[in-house]
Structure 1
Amino acid sequence: MVAFDETDLGIEVAERTNVCAIVALFCALTGLFVPALVFGAIGYVETGGREHETGSGLAVAALILGAIELVAVVLTAVIVLASMR
């Protein structure tokens, strides 16, 4: 099968924001760091491979926020567990 692209017909394709990147940022802002990391990684990879899709910055922001939240949760758990001794 031959790959087909809308630009082959001379049709302008509007750029759109990657849905996974948007979901990742929403999850990161609401404290759901695991889905933020997963959707952020997926969104970042997808925006790199798709010509008419934006949102890599959103995906990177979600990855950074998700990583910060993960570190905060782990540090909090370590401190709480250490104080129980």
Structure 2
Amino acid sequence: MPQKTATVGSKAGLHARPASVFVKAAAAQPMAISIAKADTPQESFDAASILGLMALGAEYGHEVVLTAEGEGAEAALQELAETLETELDT
């Protein structure tokens, strides 16, 4: 199963606007994406769920692991990792 590690680039972490932007990007993917903090990978959440993303509690600078399965998974994970590493609270 492909995985991609990314560092949260939004100063606000994955809260409010950054979480909303990321959830929309994850929901637009043709497969299910999960997200977990790198230090607790067993606690993963649906990346297309705003509640799941808020429960993750990822702050600025935290490393997260994205996981997906299916055709195009690696490209989808790359796109989402780039989104996460961008300042989304502008």
Say whether the fold is shared (TM-score over 0.5). Answer: no
Q: Choose between structure 1 and 2: higher strand proportion.
A: 2
Mark the structure with the bigger radius of gyration: 1
TM-score by length of 1: 0.30
TM-score by length of 2: 0.29
Q: Choose between structure 1 and 2: higher helix proportion.
A: 1
Greater RCO structure (CA 8 Å; 6+ sep): 2
